[in-house]
């Protein structure tokens, strides 16, 4: 029987500090992650994404709840778990004065690699993440994008079965972000590993994730595939009509299959449920007007995010 990468039930986390009141960061988080999927954790800043990913990666412990990683108890078997997982984080940091190669070598040693296997693995990761030209560059002299690539290379040193990526493209230029996403996709496809990815970039989640959990104030407010999330939240397609002449907006609002209408002068944004026969009826409503332009846009996760973050 294959063991699920993550099985979490009732995870709670509070941060307590000396002489200060405690802060609840996560409340009653329960979710399962399936083998081989890319699972997204989405939510606004401060929603608990980093804390949850840190708990899943055994960096910190939950206060309550049960957590099994690849079938192992996260508290009891954390040493065994750490052998088969790894993490890459936003704004990655490594010892400054070590070069790319030395950093990978150092962390490879911490994973028990030695001799020719260590040299080969370090070399393979340098090649895989196109760091060859920067092999002897100190970490402090790398650009942000190269630091992120080094972080991903470090995360692959132990050939993890489960990879955690905590906001891997935060702070990167758009072109570097796209490259990083392609890299993540390639790693996932080539190595067939399960990935848990936290992000607040909706296109990233839409592009990479098989399923997504939305977090708000430390709780999961929705969990499903991107497609189902859009469907279940009633976020239908958006029809944008620019027109001249009369249009009966009230009739439009009460029309079956119309989920919402936003009217501006000469322009309407109409959310519709495509399952209904609504598009045809909408167009008929403009029979006394002149349609200048009409576009139909599928809702994206940005819309879902805005809906859920309210």
Partner 1 sequence: MNWQGELNKYLASAYKNWITSKRNIFTLFELFFWPMISLLSIGLLTRFLKVEGSMVSFLLVGAIALTILQVAQIDVAYVLLFDMWSKSIKNTFIAPIHSYHLVFGATLFGILRGSVVFFILAIVSRYLFGFDFQEGGLLPVLIFLAGVFATAAVIGIIVCISILTFGQKADVAAWSLSGMILLVSGIYYPVEVLPPLLQTLARAIPLTYFLEYYRSVFIPGPHHLAIGAFLAVFYLVLGLILFDRAIERARRTGILLRLSE
Residues near partner 1 (CB under 8 A) are 13, 15-17, 50-51, 54, 57-61, 63, 79-80, 82-83, 85-87, 89, 93-98, 102, 105-107, 109-115, 118, 138-139, 154
CB of 112 to partner 1, least distance (A): 3
The residue (of 83 and 232) whose beta carbon lies closer to partner 1 is 83
Of residues 115 and 174, the one with the C-beta less far from partner 1? 115
Closest CB to partner 1 among residues 46, 234: 46
Going by C-alpha positions, the residue among 27, 38, 31, 26 that lies closest to residue 6 is 31
State how far the Cα of 149 lies from the Cα of 103, in Å rounded to an integer.
12
In the complex, least distance from residue 1 CB atom to partner 1, rounded to whole angstroms = 24
Nearer residue to partner 1 within complex by CB, 80 or 277 = 80
- List of residues 6+ apart from 223 with CB closer than 8 A: 31, 211, 212, 213, 214
Task: Please give the Cα distance from 230 to 306 (Å, whole number).
Answer: 12
The SS3 assignment for 4 reads coil
93 vs 275 by CB, closer to partner 1? 93
Residues, the chain: 310
Q: Which is nearer to partner 1, 198 or 278 (CB)?
A: 198
| C-alpha to C-alpha distance for 181 and 195, rounded to whole angstroms | 12
Minimum distance of partner 1 from residue 284's CB (angstroms): 58
User: How many angstroms separate the most distant Cα atoms in the chain?
Assistant: 80
Q: Which residue has the tokens 């879902």?
A: 304
DSSP secondary structure letter of residue 105: H
Rounded distance between C-alpha atoms, residue 88 and residue 184, angstroms:
11
Structure token digits, residue 86? 């790894």
Q: What six digits make up the tokens of 44?
A: 């606004």
What does the block give as tokens for 125?
């990761």
């Amino acid at each position: 029987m294959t063991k699920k990468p993550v099985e979490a039930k009732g995870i709670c986390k509070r941060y307590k500090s000396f002489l200060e009141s405690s802060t609840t960061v996560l409340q009653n988080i329960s979710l399962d992650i399936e083998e081989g999927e890319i699972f997204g954790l989405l939510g606004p800043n401060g929603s608990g994404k980093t804390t949850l990913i840190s708990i899943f990666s055994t960096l910190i412990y939950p206060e309550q709840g049960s957590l099994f990683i690849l079938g192992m108890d996260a508290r009891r078997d954390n040493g065994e778990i750490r052998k088969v997982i790894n993490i890459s984080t936003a704004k990655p940091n490594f010892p400054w004065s070590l070069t790319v190669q030395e950093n990978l070598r150092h962390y490879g040693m911490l994973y028990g690699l030695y001799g020719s296997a260590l040299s080969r693995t370090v070399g393979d990761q340098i090649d895989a993440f196109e760091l060859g030209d920067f092999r002897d560059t100190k970490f402090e002299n790398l650009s942000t994008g190269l630091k992120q690539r080094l972080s991903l290379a470090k995360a692959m040193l132990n050939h993890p079965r489960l990879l955690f990526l905590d906001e891997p493209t935060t702070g990167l230029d758009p072109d570097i972000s796209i490259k990083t996403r392609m890299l993540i996709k390639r790693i996932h496809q080539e190595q067939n590993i399960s990935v848990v990815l936290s992000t607040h970039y909706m296109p990233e989640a839409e592009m990479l994730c098989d399923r997504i959990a939305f977090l708000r104030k430390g709780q999961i407010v929705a969990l499903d595939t991107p497609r189902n999330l859009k469907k279940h939240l009633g976020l239908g397609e958006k029809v944008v009509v620019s027109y001249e002449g009369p249009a009966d907006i009230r009739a439009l609002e009460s029309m079956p299959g119309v989920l919402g209408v936003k009217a501006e002068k000469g322009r309407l944004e109409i959310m519709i449920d495509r399952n209904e026969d609504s598009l045809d009826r909408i167009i008929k409503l403009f029979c006394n007007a002149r349609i200048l332009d009409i576009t139909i846009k599928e809702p994206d996760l940005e819309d879902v995010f805005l809906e859920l973050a309210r």
